[in-house]
């Protein structure tokens, strides 16, 4: 599988496996280990987490599976996120990007994963109460201590990215953003443009729009399904899932879609998309179908 370079000594697999719903899959440690190995056999080596996933349980479940075969740690890249506090643990939902919380969250993640380093740590959401000096201090300390190799953000817009980057002595390596043929906000508001400008490959969450393209009955979803089916037939894909992934993969921003499923057949569909090549005309047909009109 193609590798995407984020830094001189860091590459991600072009497809990333997402663990947001891991707690819902009902897998035993052995079954989860088998799924991790299934991904590795297909070239998917990068795994996306967050401290809050599964109400603070997904990281530890993943770590328990890895503990069954510790040698796999050196074959994978672990991405995790911090900065959100959930009501279940803190009584209300809020953001916390204080130095104390970031460092404590990383220490907890390290214990959950049973590892001594995180490959990439992301700030999960823009924090309106962020003190960027504290974030920078936390990042520098974690890097100096060897606990986090690289840092990035998630769901940041241009001004938020540039503000935080201005306080850091090293570059942020990615922005994890939502992009799909159904959700165009980050394509339209300049967020993807920022990634191109900074040469930062974005991680892309919900590339299938959380299933809305398959089940929603609004005009956009109905139009899209028709166009995606047409393109599927033209390129010889088995499912429109593959076309949706291919639409992202062909974009020059070097997007890295996150496949957030525990079902092997859905992971296989994403892998098959790597062999598809959409024409410019097909790419714009999907875009314009989502927009409901021709490009300006």
Give the residue numbers marked as catalytic. 53
CB 161 within 8 A of CB 195: no
C-beta neighbour count of 218 within 10 angstroms: 10
């Amino acid at each position: 599988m193609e590798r995407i370079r984020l830094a001189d000594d860091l590459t991600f697999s072009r497809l990333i496996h997402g663990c947001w719903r891991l707690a819902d899959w009902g897998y035993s440690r052995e079954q989860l280990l088998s799924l991790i190995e299934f991904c590795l056999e297909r070239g998917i080596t990068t795994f996306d987490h967050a401290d809050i996933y599964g109400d603070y349980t997904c990281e530890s479940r993943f770590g328990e599976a890895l503990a069954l075969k510790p040698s796999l740690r050196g074959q994978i890249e672990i991405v995790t996120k911090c900065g959100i506090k959930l009501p279940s643990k803190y009584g209300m939902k809020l953001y916390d990007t204080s130095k104390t919380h970031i460092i404590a969250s990383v220490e907890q993640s390290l214990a959950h994963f049973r590892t001594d380093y995180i490959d990439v740590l992301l700030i999960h959401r823009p924090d309106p109460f962020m003190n960027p000096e504290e974030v920078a201090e936390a990042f520098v300390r974690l890097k100096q201590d060897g606990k986090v190799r690289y840092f990035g953000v998630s769901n940041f817009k241009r001004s938020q990215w540039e503000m935080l980057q201005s306080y850091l002595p090293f570059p942020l390596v990615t922005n994890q953003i939502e992009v799909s043929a159904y959700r165009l906000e980050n394509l339209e508001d300049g967020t993807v443009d920022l990634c191109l400008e900074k040469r930062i490959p974005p991680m892309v969450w919900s590339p299938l729009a959380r299933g809305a393209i398959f089940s929603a009955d609004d005009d956009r979803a109905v139009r899209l399904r028709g166009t995606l089916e047409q393109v599927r037939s033209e390129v010889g894909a088995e499912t429109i899932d593959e076309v949706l992934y291919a639409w992202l993969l062909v974009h020059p921003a070097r997007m890295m879609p996150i496949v957030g499923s525990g079902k092997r057949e859905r992971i296989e569909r994403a892998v098959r998309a790597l062999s598809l090549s959409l024409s410019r005309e097909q790419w714009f047909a999907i875009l314009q179908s989502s927009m409901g009109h021709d490009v300006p």
